[in-house]
C-alpha cells in the first residue's frame, strides 16, 4: 500500500510499539531508502531460532545487532532484487544499520531523511511462516521523486 509518511507509524500498530528496524539506502537507476521492520515478538523468535539468544531489556548487544543487520540485509536485498528484475533497473543497496526501539523512534530517521524529498512510502506487510514459527515483518520503501516517476512508468501506471 502507498502511504503518506505521517501515516506509517499508525499502519505499523502505533508509534509506541516495540520494533526492530533495519535501514539501508540504495542507488542506481532507482534511488531511495528501505526499512525492514519486525515487531517485538518476531524479533524474539528470530533471536531464539537463529541466534540461540533472548532479547533482554529492549536493547541489542553486539551479537544481536549483527544478527538483525544480516537478517535485514538478506530481506532487503531480496526485495530490491525482485523489484529490480520486475522493472528491469539496476539497484545497489548500501550496508544496512539495525535499531531496536519504539516504532516511532526506529522509523523517524528514515522518514525525516526521505521526507525532505518525498511524502509517500510503499508499505508491504510480510509473513514468514514455518511449520511451527511465524515471523511478521514490514518492508517500507521510500523513493526519490524521479525514481517514483520511473517506477510508475515501468509498472505502466504513470
Q: Where in the sequence is the domain holding 92, given as residue range(s)?
A: 2-155
Helices (H) and strands (E) in the chain — how many of each?
5, 7
Taking CA atoms, 139 is separated from 11, 21, 32, 52, in Å, by 12, 10, 13, 25
Query: In the structure grid, which three cell numbers stand for residue 156, read together?
Result: 505502466
Q: What is the pLDDT of residue 115?
A: 64
Q: What is the pLDDT of residue 158?
A: 65
pLDDT in tens, 50-101: 888 888 776 788 888 889 889 988 989 999 999 999 999 999 999 998 888 8
Q: What is the pLDDT of residue 116?
A: 65
Give the chain's domain count. 1
CA distance 88 to 84: 5
Q: What is the pLDDT of residue 27?
A: 93
pLDDT in tens, 113-156: 666 667 778 889 989 888 889 999 999 888 888 988 898 898 88
CATH of residue 101's domain is: 3.40.1550.10
Amino acid at each position: 500500500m502507498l502511504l503518506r509518511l505521517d501515516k506509517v507509524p499508525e499502519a505499523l500498530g502505533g508509534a509506541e510499539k516495540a520494533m526492530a528496524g533495519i535501514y539501508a539506502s540504495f542507488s542506481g537507476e532507482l534511488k531511495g531508502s528501505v526499512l525492514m521492520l519486525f515487531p517485538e515478538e518476531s524479533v524474539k523468535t528470530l533471536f531464539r531460532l537463529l541466534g540461540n539468544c533472548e532479547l533482554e531489556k529492549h536493547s541489542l548487544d553486539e551479537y544481536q545487532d549483527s544478527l538483525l543487520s544480516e537478517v535485514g540485509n538478506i530481506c532487503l536485498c531480496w526485495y530490491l532484487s525482485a523489484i529490480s528484475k520486475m522493472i528491469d533497473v539496476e539497484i545497489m543497496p548500501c550496508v544496512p544499520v539495525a535499531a531496536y526501539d519504539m516504532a516511532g523512534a526506529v522509523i523517524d530517521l528514515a522518514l525525516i531523511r526521505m521526507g525532505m524529498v518525498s511524502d509517500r512510502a510503499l508499505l508491504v506487510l510480510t509473513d514468514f511462516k514455518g511449520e511451527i514459527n511465524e515471523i511478521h515483518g514490514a518492508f517500507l520503501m521510500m523513493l526519490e521523486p524521479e525514481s517514483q516517476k520511473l517506477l510508475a512508468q515501468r509498472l505502466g501506471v504513470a
